[in-house]
Chains A and B, each alone.
Chain A
Amino acid sequence: KAGVTQTPRYLIKTRGQQVTLSCSPISGHRSVSWYQQTPGQGLQFLFEYFSETQRNKGNFPGRFSGRQFSNSRSEMNVSTLELGDSALYLCASSLSGVGNYGYTFGSGTRLTVV
């Protein structure tokens, strides 16, 4: 079956702009979570959605937001981009977000802010 699909794979944006990243989970998976990965901070949790509701949020400023659609696809948005937002953004899907199984990650979107 198809894995987790993230688009686009690469993105270059200018400081001050906003960006929207997309994630399509594995069919049947209803939980989608987002992570930011930078060399300095490693992998950090952004937020998690289940059935269009945000259930958990990491310690990121309000410029980072997300949403989930009825088909479980999710988008995350970053407004007023800063140079420090340059990172690999990863999406992970799971059946319900909890339980004794693993998450499946996408290959990520590499965002560069110049």
Chain B
Amino acid sequence: DAKTTQPTSMDCAEGRAANLPCNHSTISGNEYVYWYRQIHSQGPQYIIHGLKNNETNEMASLIITEDRKSSTLILPHATLRDTAVYYCIVRVATNDYKLSFGAGTTVTVRA
């Protein structure tokens, strides 16, 4: 799997957008970008994934650069409940039976 690089931590003001960057410069053409988050003492929660196009769902938006070497997860209106560790993972969807988690980004949303 390609490795990802994320900032160790970041703060965000409640109600503002949170933009979480992820570098995956060695990503292969058939690898997807997945985002999960883990709220304290809970299991990881799937957020969103994408291959090359930007994606949006009820939780977040995923922006992938044209060269696919980096991506940004956007939480449009952060709330205190969005405080969590966010993991960016690249994975071949068709034949990879696991998720390879890095250290992730600890996001703290402040009132």
Contact = CB atoms under 8 A, between A and B. Distances in A.
A48 B43 contact: no
A99 B93 contact: yes
Contact of A92 (B32, B43, B104): B43
Interface residues of B, number: 24
Name the prevailing secondary structure of the A interface residues: strand
A48 B98 CA distance: 7
Interface residues of A, number: 27
A107 B43 contact: yes
Interface string B91-103: 0011111111111
A63 interface: no
A33 B97 contact: yes
B97 A48 contact: yes
A72 to B, nearest CB: 15
A99 B47 CA distance: 15
A43 interface: yes
Interface of B: 32, 34, 36, 41-47, 49, 87, 93-104
